[in-house]
Structure 1
Amino acid sequence: MKAIIIGFMGSGKTTVSRLLAQKLGCRAFDLDEYIVENERRSVKQIFEEDGEDYFRKREHELLLEILKEDAVLATGGGTPLREDNRMAMKNAGVPVILLEASSKETFERLQGDDTRPLATGLDETSLGNLKNQRRQAYEECADYAIKTDEMTPLEITEKISELL
């Protein structure tokens, strides 16, 4: 593992992880995409058919699998909520980088995205409240935090490269 990118949904984790992996010459993993690939159904379907607890269990199992790879990992927005996930990421021996976007920016990025079950139907305030509920878990496992509102994905990638 080269780096782990965490943050709330819509913070740019997937885009940045792919750019960073390209720059570092390694593979990029998106944990949510990896779950979908392994489950052969969407995150939304998993939540609807088996519930969030099942999803979080699979997320943990597959996180442990990916952490063995020589790659850059973009976690799901909820991955750091479980203490065992936070510990696994901290013990991976690589920087954990938190991408932070403002609630306003996050809301704008998620407009019309119906693939995120926990954000569907939330207004800007409710989305901000959910983000704030997760803040402590994110900060607990992050080695670095980058505010992304005024930055392009390439600028964020360059900043992370400097940290590495």
Structure 2
Amino acid sequence: MASQRIFQLGLRRVAAPSLKMQPAGRMAQRRLAATKHASQSEAAEILAKQRIYRPVSPHLAIYRPQITWYGSVLGRITGLTLSGSLYLFGIAYLIAPYTGWHMETQSMVAAVAAWPAAVKMGVKAFFAFPFFYHCLNGLRHLSWDMGFGFKNQQVIRSGWGVVALSVLGGLYYTFIG
């Protein structure tokens, strides 16, 4: 075994002379850096030449939009909508005693009861659609975390399924619930 190891190390030294033995018996590569002092204009010119050969990331405009894009954007927007509304309500509830606002349950129920039916349905829809989408998309991501549904067709079907079920859930809650 030791003779094989010695033979391998000898071959490595012959094949790659830039590699050097380290104290722990490992090989490490040595690279000698060639540097020279360059003025600002020369440095800018070198950098401009290097940028020509760098790979450029394609812009989103060249791709065909997919349900995964829309799903990701909608998931973030619905999360911000729901959490932002919760934070605003929470802050208003906490500062209500200092500002003279009446945010007790009875006051809020009476205020909402006085709203026209169209306004009530609009507020319900404003919260229902993001709520159902965010919850269902979260279940979709949870299934992905467990390793299910990663094939392209499954991802597309589950994306459109989440959209359809969230529309149905939002409409049900807005008009019937």
TM-score of the two chains, using structure 1 as the length reference? 0.26
Q: Structure 1 or 2: larger helix share?
A: 2
By relative contact order (CA 8 Å, sep 6+), the higher-ranking structure is 1
TM-score of the two chains, using structure 2 as the length reference? 0.24
